[in-house]
């Protein structure tokens, strides 16, 4: 038995990837220096693989920005002549669209094929030094590449052309790993036939090289159909995929191919139960000899090493594994299968258990998930209470986070300033923002979220049952990193979480201040979740935490509360057959959290602008107002909503992902489109999303224009 590992996180133990790339962007270092730094990082990765005796690993774990984009370059869809041209396509004015990578929080760049019919092979190993001495390469396979690209004129014709492009890799490398996560989608018969056809060609072209296809994130529904292909190995994920192993036990596996078993989790951090995996592998070994074990899914969804953490309690630290520990686990499994003694790895101790929390969840009944007052009645109650003008204006929550705010927060965390000084700082920011909002004459205010580093980590720090890390950074896109918290136990509030700031903000103004909370699905999606209880129960525990918080806000006189759920679509399972189960708990957790007084107006915010497939689920959520992104498609999004939609919609009229200041006419066009479908009484005006990453110089004039637009619309309904 051999071991294989791939896509180790490129970030670096001290986030060297991020600092180097950003230094290059700021022209502090040259291209050559950047390449040198990245090749040092790549060497470190290769050495890490070697230190755990991994037999097969690629030499190219590092991309300068995104793996799928690099595949688009390898196939000649893009031809940036310089590194600056490359980054221009990643993040400049001509940047490609970004999308969530399967159901993870990683974003990839979407190749736009725009009738691209000719491809050219170009593999530029500039940062990898003398790559020839390595022999294994890993790239996104042709099917996944095309499946995730847009404007593909003719899928099958293009795929067949791509096969010739990919075949060049066989001249360069003795082992070619093609990652095909799209194989786990629910594919049509035509697509499956096409896959068989093109992989037969690839298999014929491979010469003396080895060709491995690796799938991950789920089961491949048509696994046995790949059995006859002339490839050397097929990889499956037995952590997230639960059926493939049984399928193989039942149907066998071809003798001429290696079976690559992804058995250590690439997307979550709980230590692998070595004994259980060994048992599974031994059962397979009875019918299949040449097995390779590997990581299940790329390792870049994990932080680099648990070794870097010094503030995680002992009970937890010896239960978790990051990327480096996954390599260690592969090594432990190998040893154990070979009959060797290994160290104790899975510590069996219960902790983080809170019987009261568990009981509260198990006592929930139907009525906890249903509002007794329907949305029409709520609308009347809220209208009277809030007395807002038509086309009310608001923002999504955050305002520019200056480096000053980040510095002070860091000092506070390191105990370098007192909590009193920190509170005073936050209060001064809130005060300043309230007067700015008064000046702008917005209708519903926010407190600005100056106390929050991140919309999930902030809540994690205030909850029992969730731990945060010091160095557990992972990349969400480009050089953007975040630290997913770890949900390890039953969740309850340490105290109130948002009351102090929101209550303070409300004392400063007559206008309603919106309470701002992150929803259960998003907290789960952007954390590592526990696996010992059903995910539904985690969501309900979080739902109750939010419910308690809203009740406190209500008691303090807060009339509007917004629950942000930007991850609700992303967290939806890859296979649609699993959607109804997922949406049932996702929707329930929202309705549980917001089952409060009918006169409290519940807003929800979702970042994206495409609801087509999920709209019926979204409509089951008991919100009163939903704010959505609408500026990029100038309001086209409302076509996803049904004709009889009676609730209110906040239309994003300002694309906050760009530094441009929208003018009134441009925003008016968006509303005009929306008005065709949505009665004007139900329209709110807001930016697409939070303003955290924007500059004040952009925010003030843009909001001015937004408020002027509302005035204009009120005159001319
Ligand atoms: N309230 C959050 C903010 O404004 C919402 C961000 C989000 O949905 N991603 O920053
Ligand atoms: Zn948003």
Q: What is the layout of strands, in order, in the sheet containing 625-628?
A: 514-518, 560-564, 601-605, 625-628, 648-652, 683-686
Render pLDDT for 211-224 as a digit per residue (tens, 0 to 9): 999 999 999 999 99
Whether 126 shows a pLDDT value over 80: the answer reads: no
Render pLDDT for 251-307 as a digit per residue (tens, 0 to 9): 999 999 999 999 999 999 999 999 999 999 999 999 998 899 999 999 999 999 999
Distances in Å between the Cα of 129 and the Cα atoms of 24, 201, 649 are 19, 31, 54
User: Measured from the CB, is residue 241 less than 6 Å from ligand 1?
Assistant: no
562 Cα nearest atom in ligand 1: 1
User: 3-state DSSP call for residue 658?
Assistant: coil
Residue 633 banded pLDDT, cuts 50, 70, 90: confident
- Give the separation between CA 717 and CA 714, rounded to whole angstroms: 6
Whether 16 shows a pLDDT value over 80: the answer reads: yes
- Give the separation between CA 357 and CA 23, rounded to whole angstroms: 47
User: Measured from the CB, is residue 566 less than 6 Å from ligand 1?
Assistant: yes
Contact 562, 603 (CB under 8 A): yes
Kindly identify the ligand whose nearest atom is closest to the C-alpha of 398: 1
User: Measured from the CB, is residue 689 less than 6 Å from ligand 1?
Assistant: yes
- CB atoms within 5 A of ion ligand 2 belong to 607, 689
Measured in angstroms, how far is the CA atom of residue 658 from the centroid of ligand 2?
A: 14
User: 3-state DSSP call for residue 180?
Assistant: coil
Residue 315 banded pLDDT, cuts 50, 70, 90: very high
User: Measured from the CB, is residue 398 less than 6 Å from ligand 1?
Assistant: yes
First-residue to last-residue Cα distance in the chain = 72
DSSP state of 238: T
Strand pairing category for 474-477 and 480-482: antiparallel
User: Measured from the CB, is residue 447 less than 6 Å from ligand 1?
Assistant: no
The pLDDT of residue 131 is 60
Render pLDDT for 648-681 as a digit per residue (tens, 0 to 9): 999 999 999 888 999 999 999 999 999 999 999 9
- Give the separation between CA 482 and CA 458, rounded to whole angstroms: 12
Distances in Å between the Cα of 300 and the Cα atoms of 11, 127, 305, 612 are 9, 19, 12, 30
Render pLDDT for 349-397 as a digit per residue (tens, 0 to 9): 888 999 999 999 999 999 999 999 999 999 999 999 999 999 999 999 9
- Give the separation between CA 512 and CA 437, rounded to whole angstroms: 11
Ligand 1 mutation pick, 398, 563, 609, 693, max ligand atoms within 8 A of CB:
398
User: Measured from the CB, is residue 565 less than 6 Å from ligand 1?
Assistant: no
- Give the separation between CA 604 and CA 219, rounded to whole angstroms: 33
- Atom 3 in ligand 1: residue holding the nearest Cα: 690
Told to judge if 603 belongs to the known catalytic residues of this protein, a careful annotator would answer: no
Measured in angstroms, how far is the CA atom of residue 375 from the centroid of ligand 1?
A: 24
Our CA angle for 623, 625, 629, nearest 5°, is 115
Our CA angle for 283, 286, 289, nearest 5°, is 110
The 10 Å Cβ neighbour count of residue 609 is 17
Two tokens, residue 122? 């170009």
> DSSP letters of 70-90?
HHHHHTTS---SSHHHHHHHH
Full set of structural domains in the chain with CATH: 2-337 (3.20.20.210), 355-715 (3.20.20.210)
566 Cα nearest atom in ligand 1: 8
Ligand 1 mutation pick, 502, 521, 605, 652, max ligand atoms within 8 A of CB:
605
Angle between helices 323-337 and 274-285 (to 10 degrees): 50
Q: Residue 564: beta bridge partners?
A: 518, 605
The pLDDT of residue 632 is 81
User: Measured from the CB, is residue 607 less than 6 Å from ligand 1?
Assistant: yes
Residue 558 burial by Cβ neighbours in a 10 Å radius (0-12, 13-18, 19+):
buried
- Give the separation between CA 623 and CA 561, rounded to whole angstroms: 10
H-state helical runs in 562-663? 579-593, 615-618
The 10 Å Cβ neighbour count of residue 153 is 11
CA atoms within 13 A on the CB side of 165: 26
User: Measured from the CB, is residue 10 less than 6 Å from ligand 1?
Assistant: no
Four-CA torsion 299, 302, 305, 310, nearest 10 degrees: -170
Measured in angstroms, how far is the CA atom of residue 628 from the centroid of ligand 2?
A: 7
Q: What are phi and psi of 320, to 5 degrees?
A: -115, 160
Task: Give the pLDDT mean for 91-95.
Answer: 83
């Amino acid at each position: 038995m051999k071991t294989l590992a791939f896509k180790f996180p490129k970030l670096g133990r001290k986030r060297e990837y991020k600092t180097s790339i950003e230094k290059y962007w700021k022209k502090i270092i040259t291209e050559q220096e950047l390449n040198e730094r990245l090749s040092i990082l790549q060497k470190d990765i290769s050495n890490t693989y070697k230190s755990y005796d991994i037999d097969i690993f690629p030499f190219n774990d590092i991309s300068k920005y995104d793996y799928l984009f690099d595949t688009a370059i390898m196939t000649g869809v893009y031809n940036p002549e310089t590194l600056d041209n490359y980054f221009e396509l990643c993040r400049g004015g001509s940047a490609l669209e970004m999308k969530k990578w399967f159901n993870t929080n990683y974003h990839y760049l979407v190749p736009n094929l725009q009738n691209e019919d000719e491809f050219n092979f170009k593999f530029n190993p500039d940062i990898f030094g003398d790559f020839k001495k390595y022999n294994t390469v890993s790239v996104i396979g042709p099917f996944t590449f095309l499946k995730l690209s847009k404007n593909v004129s003719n899928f099958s014709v293009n795929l067949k052309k791509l096969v010739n492009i990919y075949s060049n890799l066989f001249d360069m490398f003795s082992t070619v790993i093609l990652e095909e996560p799209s194989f786990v989608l629910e594919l049509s018969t035509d697509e499956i036939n096409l896959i068989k056809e093109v992989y037969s060609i690839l298999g014929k072209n491979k010469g003396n090289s080895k060709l491995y296809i690796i799938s991950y994130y789920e089961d491949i529904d048509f696994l046995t159909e790949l059995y006859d292909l002339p490839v050397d190995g097929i990889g499956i994920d037995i952590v997230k995929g639960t059926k493939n192993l049984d399928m193989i036990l039942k149907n066998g596996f071809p003798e001429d191919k290696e079976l690559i078993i992804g058995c250590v989790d690439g997307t979550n951090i709980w230590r692998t139960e070595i004994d259980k995996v060994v048992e599974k592998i031994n059962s397979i070994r009875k019918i299949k000899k040449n097995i390779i074990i590997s990581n299940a899914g790329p390792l870049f969804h994990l932080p680099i090493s648990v070794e870097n953490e010094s503030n995680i309690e002992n009970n937890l630290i010896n239960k978790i594994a990051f990327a480096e520990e996954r390599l260690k686990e592969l090594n432990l499994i190998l040893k154990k299968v070979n009959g060797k003694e290994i160290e104790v790895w899975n510590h069996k101790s219960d902790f983080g258990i809170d019987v009261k929390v568990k009981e509260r969840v198990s006592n929930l009944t139907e009525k906890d998930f249903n509002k007794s007052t329907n949305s029409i009645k709520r609308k009347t109650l809220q209208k009277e209470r809030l007395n807002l003008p038509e086309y009310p204006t608001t923002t999504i929550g955050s305002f520019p986070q200056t480096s000053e705010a980040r510095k002070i927060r860091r000092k506070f965390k390191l105990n370098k300033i007192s909590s009193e000084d920190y509170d005073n700082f936050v209060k001064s920011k809130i005060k300043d923002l309230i007067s700015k909002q008064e000046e702008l004459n917005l209708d519903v205010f926010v407190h600005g979220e100056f106390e929050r580093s991140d919309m999930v980590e902030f809540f994690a720090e205030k909850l029992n049952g969730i731990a945060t890390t010091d160095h557990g950074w992972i990349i969400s896109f480009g050089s953007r990193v975040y630290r997913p918290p770890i949900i390890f136990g039953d969740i309850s509030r340490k105290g109130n979480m948002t009351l102090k700031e929101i209550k303070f903000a409300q004392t400063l103004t007559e206008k309603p201040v919106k309470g701002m909370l992150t929803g259960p699905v998003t907290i789960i999606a952007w954390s590592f979740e526990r696996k010992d209880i059903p995910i539904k129960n985690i969501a309900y525990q979080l739902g109750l935490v939010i419910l308690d918080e809203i009740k406190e806000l209500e008691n303090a006189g807060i009339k509007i509360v917004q629950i942000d759920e930007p991850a609700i679509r992303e967290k939806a399972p890859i296979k649609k057959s699993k959607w109804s189960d997922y949406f049932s708990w996702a929707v329930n957790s929202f309705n549980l959290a917001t089952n409060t007084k009918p006169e409290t107006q519940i807003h929800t915010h979702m970042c994206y602008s495409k609801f087509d497939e999920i709209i019926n689920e979204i409509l089951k959520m008991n919100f009163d107002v939903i704010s959505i992104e609408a500026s990029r498609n100038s309001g086209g999004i409302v076509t996803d909503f049904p004709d009889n939609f009676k609730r209110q919609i906040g239309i994003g009229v300002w694309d906050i992902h760009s530094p441009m200041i929208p003018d009134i006419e441009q925003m008016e066009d968006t509303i005009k489109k929306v008005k065709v479908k949505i009665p004007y009484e139900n329209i709110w005006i807001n930016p697409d999303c939070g303003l955290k990453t924007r500059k004040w110089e952009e925010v003030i004039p843009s909001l001015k224009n937004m408020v002027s637009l509302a005035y204009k619309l009120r005159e001319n309904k």
